[in-house]
Structure 1
Amino acid sequence: MATKRRVKETFAPYDSADYLKTDEDMVGYLEACMEEAGDDASFIADALGTIARARGMTRLAEETGLTREGLYKALNKNANPSFDTILKVMRALGLKFVPRVA
């Protein structure tokens, strides 16, 4: 009786930034993350970081006046960036907060 050899499968890490190709994709992603986040501000910072990586972190650094390293640090799941940083990033990404009654 022949034995079957198992083939080891490898997978690339999943990165949401790879799938954010259009402005509509980015807005939809941010809206979904904001719904999911509840009161977790770092979740939103991480979502903005994902969008920033999809758009191009170097370009975003130039447009915000912040360093690439500073942006990576401010826009991750363990971050607590200032509201000023969030507003700069959103403006540079062409996004804005729109108040609505919930």
Structure 2
Amino acid sequence: MTVRLTRWDITDHLQTDEDRALFLEACIDEAGDDSAFMVQALCAIARAKGVDDLAAIAGVDPASLSDDCELSFDTFLKAIRALGLQLHAEVVPTHAGQG
């Protein structure tokens, strides 16, 4: 018996704005202090949306949204806005009342 495998690609599952927003939110929840994880998440969203189009809207070089680049926070925010998404903050219960 031959088992046939195909390569799984997250971009196949990020076809709507809601899909991309939910994926980004899940990545924010899971990333912790891992900024590279968030860069990879944003690059996956960029691939799903279309890197060249997104880069043009954000006013950044398309190469800055490739998987092997380190994004500046400025570029990260520009790409988030160009996707029509926003980041948000909330108090983490274990840190409530501190400060």
What TM-score results when the alignment is normalised by the length of structure 2?
A: 0.82
Provide the identity percentage: 43
Secondary structure of the corresponding residue to residue 101 of structure 1: coil
Cα-Cα RMSD: 1.5
Which residue of 2 is the match for residue 44 of structure 1? 38
Instruction: Return the offset for 1:67.
Output: 2.3
Q: How many residues align?
A: 92
* Distance change (3 Å), C-alpha of 1:95 and 1:41: same
Residues 1-102 of structure 1: pairs in structure 2 closer than 5 A? 6-7=1-2, 9-72=3-66, 76=67, 79-102=69-92
Structure 1, unaligned stretches of length 5 or more? 1-5
